[in-house]
Every structure is written in C-alpha cells, then in structure tokens.
C-alpha cells in the first residue's frame, strides 16, 4: 500500500491528534539546530500507516497484537509503502489467527518500520 508524499501539514495534524507537540516534528529552526536537515515525522505516524494496512485487511476489530521497531526517520516529501506478508495461519482460542510480518519503506530505499501482528481471519 503506497501512501501520499509526507508533508509538514501531516506532521502537524498528527501532532494534534496524538498530543505529541515535540517541535522536532514541526519547527525547522529547532530541528536543524540539532543537526537534522528538517523536521521529521513521528515514529507513531509511520506505525499508524502500517496499521492502516492491517485494518484494511482484517478490520480494526480483528487486530489482536501489533508491534514495531522504528528503524529510520521519515522526512517531508518521502513516499512510504507498507508491505505485509502472512507468515502463518493457526487456530487458537476458537479463532483462526494470521501472523503477519510487515515493513514500511520510503521511496529513498530506507526501512522506516518493521513489525509483526496477529490478526483474526474472518
């Protein structure tokens, strides 16, 4: 699943939704003072995009476990792509569960997030 190019507006909107107003995500002056080329996206924003893929496949109510490891920052203009692969299907507690491996990469070739999930197969 490919997402639209990231913008500073997306970062600010995410800050408002999450309550995370760290200026590194919206203030170029502060972000560059500490050595960044510009503001960068929240890690949880990238995780949320990965979660959207899971939600589209299994429905929000079907997600039982979701964890990620943050690898690289994402920047304004990056185009992110989330990919997921079902690695196993199993029965547990009367439900059919899919174990899913997922990764979010940028169009620049860097891996922003890698994770895993367990979801109910309807």
Q: Strand, coil or helix: what is 24?
A: helix
In whole angstroms, what is the distance from residue 114 CA to residue 102 CA? 6
Structure tokens at 3: 């997402």
Indicate the pTM of the whole model. Answer: 0.91
Q: What is the total residue count of the chain? A: 122
Residue 122: predicted pLDDT: 81
Structure tokens at 118: 């367990």
- pLDDT tens, per residue, the chain with 122 residues: 999 999 999 999 999 999 999 999 999 999 999 999 999 999 999 999 999 999 999 999 999 999 999 999 999 999 999 999 999 999 999 999 999 999 999 999 999 999 999 999 98
Residue 91: predicted pLDDT: 97
User: All domains of the chain, ordered by start, with CATH?
Assistant: 8-120 (3.10.129.10)
In the numeric block, the tokens 């992110």 are attached to: 80
Q: Which residues pair with 70 in a beta bridge?
A: 113
Residue 113: predicted pLDDT: 98
Structure tokens at 81: 């792509």
Residue 46: predicted pLDDT: 97
């Amino acid at each position: 699943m490919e997402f639209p190019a990231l913008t500073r507006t997306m970062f600010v909107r995410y800050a408002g939704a999450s309550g995370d107003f760290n200026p590194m995500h919206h203030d170029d002056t502060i972000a560059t003072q500490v050595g960044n080329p510009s503001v960068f996206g929240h890690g949880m924003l990238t995780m949320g995009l990965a979660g959207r893929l899971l939600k589209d496949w299994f429905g929000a109510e079907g997600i039982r476990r979701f964890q990620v490891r943050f690898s690289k920052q994402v920047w304004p203009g990056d185009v992110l792509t989330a990919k997921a692969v079902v690695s196993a299907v199993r029965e547990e507690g009367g439900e059919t569960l899919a174990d899913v491996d997922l990764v979010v990469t940028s169009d620049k070739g860097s891996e922003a997030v890698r994770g895993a999930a367990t979801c109910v197969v309807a």
